């Protein structure tokens, strides 16, 4: 598992960079940046192509392989984009659309200015917490596991809300940090340095979120002299 995961995610990090053009002989059998850029194009020549994650053999086997064409620039995106940067809606709306169900109203309403750096660091922090959750598998006391899972799930939704500039996302993120302050010591006591380090990082991040968001709102609000 470790060997395969290391190979797979190393390739994933490599093939999603925008610096490398061609990768020489690797382009013949690996999913490289040149091959994977095609997958993210929505123009007709590139749509629904290059689904593989590591090797090209599967796309070549099923007839979905397409090389990057000279003179045909890739137009990134999807044919019917979702009016939200929240990963929850980005994954849910296409399913609702396919099923012919009513779509949620994702535009309008008051939006907060939330820093991209805040969202990016929040995502990294949440990834670390998920890794910790997996690390503690089989050692959870009492109801620790479902409670911790619920906090991770709620944090994911709150982070998505923040990415859309929703007030409830920011409030939810702060509330989850406050709840974690009680849940972590209650579940594991004060003798878990890794867990307590993540808790401290979460609390610091929540304070930064509050300060940065308030400052951005102050800048966005025009001053009217009376």
pLDDT, tens digit (0-9, with 9 covering 90-100), for 66-100:
999 988 999 998 878 888 888 888 889 989 988 99
CA distance 226 to 89: 42
Section 24-38 average pLDDT: 92
Residue span of the structural domain in which 166 resides: 116-219
CA distance 140 to 133: 9
Is residue 176 in some structural domain?
A: yes
- Please name the residue that has the structure tokens 């610091």: 204
CA distance 65 to 58: 8
Same domain, 124 and 194: yes
pTM: 0.70
93-125 pLDDT tens trace:
989 988 998 888 887 777 888 888 989 999 999
Q: What is the pLDDT of residue 137?
A: 81
Same domain, 56 and 134: no
CA distance 110 to 107: 10
- pLDDT over threshold 80, residue 222: no
- Helix, strand, or coil here: 137? coil
Is residue 83 in some structural domain?
A: no
CA-CA-CA-CA torsion for 122, 127, 132, 137, nearest 10 degrees?
130
Where would I find the beta strands (DSSP E) of the chain? Answer: none
Is residue 105 in some structural domain?
A: no
CA distance 129 to 173: 14
Is residue 94 in some structural domain?
A: no
169-210 pLDDT tens trace:
999 999 998 888 877 776 666 677 888 888 889 999 999 988
């Amino acid at each position: 598992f470790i060997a395969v995961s290391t190979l797979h995610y190393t390739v994933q990090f490599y093939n999603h960079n925008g610096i490398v053009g061609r990768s020489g002989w690797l382009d013949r059998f690996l999913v490289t940046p040149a091959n994977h850029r095609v997958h993210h194009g929505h123009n007709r020549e590139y749509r629904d192509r290059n689904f593989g994650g590591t090797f090209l053999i599967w796309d070549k086997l099923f007839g979905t392989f397409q090389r990057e064409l000279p003179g045909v620039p890739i137009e990134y995106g999807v044919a019917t984009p979702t009016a939200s940067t929240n990963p929850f809606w980005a994954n849910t709306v296409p399913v609702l659309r396919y099923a012919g169900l009513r779509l949620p109203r994702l535009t309008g309403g008051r939006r907060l200015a939330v820093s991209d750096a805040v969202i990016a660091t929040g995502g990294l922090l949440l990834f670390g917490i998920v890794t910790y959750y997996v690390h503690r598998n089989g050692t959870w006391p009492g109801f620790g596991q479902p409670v911790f899972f619920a906090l991770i799930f709620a944090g994911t939704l709150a982070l998505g809300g923040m990415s859309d500039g929703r007030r409830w996302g920011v409030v939810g993120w702060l509330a989850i940090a406050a709840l974690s302050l009680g849940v972590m010591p209650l579940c594991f006591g004060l003798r878990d340095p890794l867990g307590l380090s993540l808790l401290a990082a979460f609390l610091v991040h929540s304070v930064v979120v509050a300060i940065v968001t308030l400052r951005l709102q102050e800048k966005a609000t025009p001053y009217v002299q009376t």
